[in-house]
Structure 1
């Protein structure tokens, strides 16, 4: 029977990489990572070129840093600028709590439950296998890793297909439904980058139909993403993520909502990281009116939209629809 190889989902590969980089203080070389960490190891054994895997590793590092995970690069002691044999690690000290933070008994109980879940689920069989290989090389490894969960949230179903298409430089087609349109429209793009903005994932690429750069919100992708045989130069990906984020930030800077938010609520906690203080409440920039209206409506009475009126009307419409759905119960 011919040997079969399993292709790890990109998010699984990222988790395995974080686990490996946090498990050693001295750091891991790129060669050790590619030969030991699940997601790279299988592809290396299947005959993938070292150059392709190294490029994948560089993109993964960029994605993790974009999620707020500090990957440290350690050069040679004699010459710190010499990165030919660089080692990589995630310094666990970055996640030590400040001394002035304390928790109530109820909060500690909830944290213990979360820690138990992470303790049993964070180290998958693939991750443990990778750590065993790293330990066999004589590199000290801390296991289990408890108390740190990487900020890799559950993503939209289309994420893995777009990630694979970007890695392989392949044109994709998919159906995309914009608000107010009766049916989705077929899109054909060169996908260049996946970026997270306002806690939502977007794919940025060159729309071959519109002959222009476009950014698409992943939750609006309808059905499957099809990878075609048509390819494009990998050089087109260079700087694509930065261009996408700059474009989204520019849109958000033009669209700002004035909100009144009850302190100490979920809405207050979630909106605080992107809110600016205002005399009447807070000002929050946003990219998409309909997506932001969905979020604000989910907070119920915790938030009130002062302006713009278009956003306020959309939030009210969603709340009224919810009331009707539940039979008008107060």
Structure 2
């Protein structure tokens, strides 16, 4: 659901909850933000009818009626007695589970929703002690930029296209997928669905999605087969160790001892006037190794493969931009 549409629905619910009288469509159009921008009457009524259907589908008890016999058109309102949630009673362990769920998510979108739910529980008198969850520190990070778009495509049941980069490939490939779900497995997020290009179910690691995924087609077209277990698909694909990727690195003399312990010196090389050695090592997960290698700064330079060199370079740019602050210009980072 688009942000503007969601805000309009919230405004409509608040408006209809705040009145005891039935409000006509024209009255709602004049006081609810989001309707005043309609270019004409036809566009407004089309949007309003769609919003009413959306609220009813969500279970909102929308009443229709007239305030008196002199009214010529119907109005709308929401009765609080039918809309408000009853008293919530949670046992201490249940309340701790709610607090634990709040700490599970590490993305701005999901954190805001979870924190809002926690505040509502506390406002209702439920004692939610998030300190009880302190002994468990789950972290399912959703910092991948592709996460919101892919999750939205799953929820809408729409086909999605995106560029995907394999670990050993220097260039990405366009994939068209019927998404079934987004699954967390061993600290990583995967999109599971039917790959139209391969004609079979596939799993895609979100950290390898390049750019912004694009949903296409009508909503509700894609449905997950009832017999498919998403977690089993992801775990099955990850059961075997992935092929190792050979890498060649230049390391300044006497530096990066942690990296040297995992690599083999194969040559000596002078780079930009600094003496060093060429090291070779095999990487099982080049994506995660990029941040580890980037931590050595200018003491380590990736020679091969190109995709790893690019990832380390981007990590350096991100660190430089963060150090210079939000007002830094691209030239300041690159220079």
Using the size of structure 2 for normalisation, the TM-score is 0.41
Q: Return the structure number with greater relative CO, CA threshold 8 A, min gap 6.
A: 1
Using the size of structure 1 for normalisation, the TM-score is 0.42
Larger Rg: 2
